[in-house]
Amino acid sequence: MPDNNGAVFFEVFNEIGIIEQLSRTLLEMRLPDGLIAPHFAVVNHLTRLGDGRALIDIARAFQVPKTSMTHTIKGLQAHGMVEVRPNPDDGRSKLVFLSHKGRAMRGQVIADLGPDFERLASGIDVERLQGILPMLKDLRMFLDEDRNGVSSRPSSG
């Protein structure tokens, strides 16, 4: 019997990608004007892991160039969602802190998503959904830990 692991992983990643697109659109409909999903993702990241993070560390966490993250952070600054301060331990780097407005925005967006989540619960078995969370978390953690071991091209041979 041929190894079907590649097809299974492709199908799983394909479904996750489509779900990401659909959920991003839903999220962006609830965000304040001028903010997009990457802005919310940074606020959520800082909420989950604690703020006062170096800009370069945030860029690494999101696997984007520092210039892209700088652009995202500037957008958040312009909306009063974060404050950027000099790093007292390294004069060359900056630390990013959530503002009260940023924390409040995250809470409000999650509250505003409530009716959307209720609609989802009417069509999706929440217990089954909860049952797949451990596997999704395992997949995320594996990919996160393995990302530095990934080569840019498959080996030939």
Judge contact between 73 and 82, C-beta under 8 A: yes
Predicted pLDDT of residue 92: 87
Alpha-carbon distances, residue 84 vs 26, 60, 93, 99 (angstroms): 29, 17, 10, 10
Q: Render pLDDT for 40-87 as a digit per residue (tens, 0 to 9).
A: 999 999 999 998 999 999 999 999 999 999 999 999 999 999 999 999
- Give me the mean pLDDT over the 5-29 stretch: 96
Domains of the chain are: 36-134 (1.10.10.10)
Judge contact between 109 and 27, C-beta under 8 A: yes
